[in-house]
């Protein structure tokens, strides 16, 4: 009985809170420099071949929020929306895919 130190519910809550804090608050303090690929593209001269994608006018394009001027707030909203959208889509998919418990075993626990 050594393994679990906290309940699964507490673990999931702490994990989600951490993700929301990173995306909603911490991301404001992230480095604004271009990432590795962007930097290499600038330096070696193929950055100009990049085009604006079809999603460029999404309300959360480039991790901002349309209509919100303050980058701290706009970025935070985009981060929280992204984390929750990912959680819902991925969590929903995984709940659908998961192996259902054996009905016999389930009735035993009741």
Footprint on this chain of another protein (rule: CB under 8 A): 1-9, 11-12, 15-16, 18-20, 22-23, 26-27, 30-37, 39-41, 43-46, 48-56, 58, 60-63, 78-79, 81-87, 89-95, 97-99, 101
State the minimum distance, in angstroms, from the CB of residue 37 to another protein: 5
State the minimum distance, in angstroms, from the CB of residue 95 to another protein. 5
Q: How far apart are CA 74 and CA 63, in angstroms?
A: 8
The DSSP letter of residue 67 is T
If the CB atoms of residues 3 and 107 are measured against another protein, the closer one turns out to be 3
CB 21 within 8 A of CB 79: no
Cβ neighbours around 82 below 10 Å, total: 16
Comparison of 69 and 101: residue with beta carbon closer to another protein: 101
Q: How far is the CB of 87 from another protein (least distance, A)?
A: 4
Q: Could you give the CA distance from residue 110 to residue 91 in angstroms, rounded to a whole number?
A: 26
The whole-angstrom separation of Cα 110 and Cα 106 is 7
Q: How far is the CB of 107 from another protein (least distance, A)?
A: 15
């Amino acid at each position: 009985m050594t393994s679990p130190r906290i309940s699964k519910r507490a673990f999931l809550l702490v994990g989600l809170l951490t993700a929301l804090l990173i995306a909603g608050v911490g991301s404001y303090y992230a480095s604004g420099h271009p990432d590795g690929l962007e930097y290499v593209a600038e330096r070696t001269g193929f950055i100009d071949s990049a085009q604006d994608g079809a999603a460029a006018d999404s309300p959360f394009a480039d991790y901002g929020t349309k209509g919100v001027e303050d980058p701290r707030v706009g970025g935070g909203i985009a981060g929280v929306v992204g984390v929750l959208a990912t959680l819902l889509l991925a969590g929903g998919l995984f709940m659908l895919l998961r192996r259902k418990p054996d009905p016999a075993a389930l009735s035993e626990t009741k």
